[in-house]
Structure 1
Amino acid sequence: MAWDEARNLRIAVVGTGAQGASIGADFALAGLDVTFIEQWPEHVAAMRAAGITVNMPDRSITANVRALHLCQVAELREHFDIVFLVVKAYDTKWTSQLIEPVLASDGLVVGVQNGMTQDDIASVVGVERSVGAVFDMASNMFVPGMTNRQNDHDTSWFALGALDPANQGRVEKIAELLRHSGRVEVTEDIRSAKWMKLIVNAAQLVPSAILNLPFAEAMKVPGMTEVMRAAGYEAMRAAIADGAKIVPILGMQPTKVNDPERYVDQIFDEVQKTFMMADTLTTVLQDWRKGRRGEVLDLNGHVVRTLEKAGQTAPVNKRVVEAGRAIEAGKLPPQLSNSSLLVA
């Protein structure tokens, strides 16, 4: 059985944009059996011609890879033991449906994504074949065949957890593979870990993008740091309402703080210190600059929906969602003056 030897596992990375390509390149250079599956035709062509290049702060790597377009999945005859799903949260369900026919009967799908995507994956492939994941790694891609990764392995972080406890041993094998790309933790409470990361994402990704600024610059705008932290406090209330526990992420030590808002501040500060560079553009702003939809509804929108279900309100996140949706509808450009829409 392939699972008896982790290095012999057949791997697919579905969604090889900035994050997925970085992870896949590390796998390829480690000699693992990895296939890239991607929807951007020019990117597939570039990788076939010259491999994938990953530029990091102090070095660059290039890996020759097997790259397939999404339309070629139907031509595959082999089955994959592990599928790393690295697509936008809103693309989770249909991508899971696309890949399920080529997933081994004992294979696992790992959702390396923002948002609470684990349930969408499980609804397609089954809980017994689903693994939740959370990560922090800043990167961007604007040129086919090339990704710019701002966190090298020492400052890239992942956490993994099985949805079915019976799979926890196999999750350890996946962690062994993923350590080729960064620090990896295995948790028995991946749902809570994903909530803790969603709290950070709700606070940072969309609010800074609405101003059309790198995250570090958006924080300097009067009132915006307070808006971001308030969005995080609401997200923490949503997490607790959904049954999540306050758990450490990003390699932080277990918290001794009983104040949920204080813990939000600690996570917020850790991301700012370790994972964000001065020029880091959040994934949402990158999407908007490419003319694509961002994960507004999967992040801040999820906070609003969760608190509404619990009979509570999320006024800050609601303002973020309204501004973000207006930008995506073409009714509002992302610009500095939008801070007036967010600052109470």
Structure 2
Amino acid sequence: MSNTGNPKIAFVGTGAQGASIGADFALAGHDVTFIEQWPAHVEAIRANGITVNLPARTINAKVPALHFCQVAEIKEKFDLIFLIVKAYDTKWVTQMVEPVLAEDGFVIGLQNGMTHLDIASVVGQERTIGAVIEIASNMFVPGITNRQNDQDESWFALGAIDREQQHRVEGVAKLLRCAGRVEVTDDIKSCKWMKLVVNAAELVPSAILDLPLADAARFPGFLEVMRQAGYEAMRAALLDGAMIVPIIGMPPVTTNDPEGYVDRIFDEVLKTFSRADTLTTSLQDWRKGRRAEVQEVNGHVIDVLRAAGQDAPINSRVVELAYEIERGLLSAGLDNAAPLIASLGPGR
């Protein structure tokens, strides 16, 4: 980075996750700018700062905020750009900010899905850091985000795409530790896959029932649906060359039990990173009238398995129902549990 003493940092996409992490950076004294596509949110931050409601405290940070349309007006380039937009928006948003990224800077994708590949296709592998994030949060009012995990419960992993840049990742991790626990990994691909595995099990399946994550996991017969979606995702991960690696602060893997490890990740997310009222990002999207990251998570599992000549019956049914909901042909609700449970087949 050209300015290692006080790098110039942008948070692009300052919704529930990006705003709360960016607020931590601002309060830690870093040079931070928000770049956001929701006009009312930008104006609220300009007027009142960004407010973050945490489980036991509330913080407020004053942060410069720009509309997406103002990116072309930026004169000084950023050393670090944290990207926290929806996975399906990754490529075009990266193209938008590439002109304001320093030549030796990094884009860090704090997102679901395999978005590090989209980022690298635009700015190059040498300027891409892959990331995994585990925080529960929501936002429904401009200028105010609700983060359900404080810094001691928030977890990140970072890793370079270009191995020649791996030695620089710790410097970024040191900055990010103002927002939570950060691990540096030399196998970010596997970490991203492990997160996708648990996302496939949780995000869209629970949203299809229109339930908080914990309630969906307790719904009779549905936990097995969620686990089987995760098992299919784990098969896809291994076929794609990923290793079973610990994430979200879990202990090292000691046995070769892919399905057992899916269960362990799932249980840890339910225990540590969710509350009774935690809505997955997919359900939040639908309640806001937006599409969810269906293709980027469950659809990716289907594509990888299909390329290997294998089926993904649970993820395929999840995607089918999700698209019907997004087209307005079906409503999210408990009635959708039966067809998903039926997809398990006899004996399940």
Q: Do Structure 1 and Structure 2 share a fold, with TM-score over 0.5? A: yes
Q: Write the letter of the residue equivalent to 1:173.
A: G
Deviation string, structure 1 residues 183-223 (Cα, Å, up to 9, x no partner)? 00000000000000000000000000000000011112111
- The answer to whether the 8 A contact 1:158-1:182 is kept is yes
- TM alignment of 1:17-166, pairs within 5 A: 17-166=15-164
State the alpha-carbon separation in 2 of the partners of residues 154 and 341 from structure 1. Answer: 39
Q: 1:4: how far off? A: 3.7
Q: 1:169: how far off? A: 1.9
- The answer to whether the 8 A contact 2:232-2:315 is kept is yes
SS of the equivalent of 2:294 reads: coil
Deviation string, structure 1 residues 15-40 (Cα, Å, up to 9, x no partner)? 00000000100000001000000000
SS of the equivalent of 1:323 reads: helix
RMSD of aligned C-alpha atoms? 0.7
- The answer to whether the 8 A contact 2:23-2:50 is kept is yes
**2:216 paired residue number:** 218
**1:174 paired residue number:** 172
State the alpha-carbon separation in 1 of the partners of residues 214 and 339 from structure 2. Answer: 19
State the alpha-carbon separation in 2 of the partners of residues 303 and 99 from structure 1. Answer: 29
State the alpha-carbon separation in 2 of the partners of residues 296 and 282 from structure 1. Answer: 12
- The answer to whether the 8 A contact 1:3-1:170 is kept is no
**1:322 paired residue number:** 320
- The answer to whether the 8 A contact 2:2-2:104 is kept is no
**2:189 paired residue number:** 191
SS of the equivalent of 2:218 reads: coil
Give the counterpart of 1:259 among 240, 257, 260: 257
State the alpha-carbon separation in 2 of the partners of residues 176 and 195 from structure 1. Answer: 24
- TM alignment of 1:7-26, pairs within 5 A: 8-26=6-24
State the alpha-carbon separation in 2 of the partners of residues 62 and 3 from structure 1. Answer: 27
What is the count of residue pairs matched by the alignment? Answer: 342
- The answer to whether the 8 A contact 1:323-1:341 is kept is no
Give the counterpart of 2:274 among 270, 273, 276: 276
Q: Percent of aligned positions with the same letter in both sequences?
A: 68
**2:345 paired residue number:** none
SS of the equivalent of 1:65 reads: coil
SS of the equivalent of 1:87 reads: coil
Q: TM-score, normalised by structure 2?
A: 0.97
- The answer to whether the 8 A contact 1:132-1:163 is kept is yes
Q: 1:259: how far off? A: 1.2
Deviates more, 1:167-176 or 1:53-62: 167-176
- The answer to whether the 8 A contact 2:131-2:158 is kept is yes
- The answer to whether the 8 A contact 1:54-1:61 is kept is yes
Which aligned segments of 4 or more residues in structure 1 are displaced greater than 2 angstroms? 1-5
SS of the equivalent of 1:19 reads: helix
Which 5+ residue runs of structure 2 have no aligned equivalent?
Answer: 343-348
- The answer to whether the 8 A contact 1:193-1:248 is kept is yes
State the alpha-carbon separation in 2 of the partners of residues 250 and 52 from structure 1. Answer: 27
Q: 1:3: how far off? A: 4.9
Q: 1:2: how far off? A: 3.6
Q: Write the letter of the residue equivalent to 2:146.
A: N
**1:306 paired residue number:** 304
**1:229 paired residue number:** 227
Q: TM-score, normalised by structure 1?
A: 0.98
State the alpha-carbon separation in 2 of the partners of residues 220 and 268 from structure 1. Answer: 13
State the alpha-carbon separation in 1 of the partners of residues 126 and 217 from structure 2. Answer: 42
SS of the equivalent of 2:99 reads: helix
Q: Write the letter of the residue equivalent to 2:17.
A: Q
State the alpha-carbon separation in 1 of the partners of residues 308 and 154 from structure 2. Answer: 34
- The answer to whether the 8 A contact 1:51-1:62 is kept is yes
- The answer to whether the 8 A contact 2:2-2:102 is kept is no
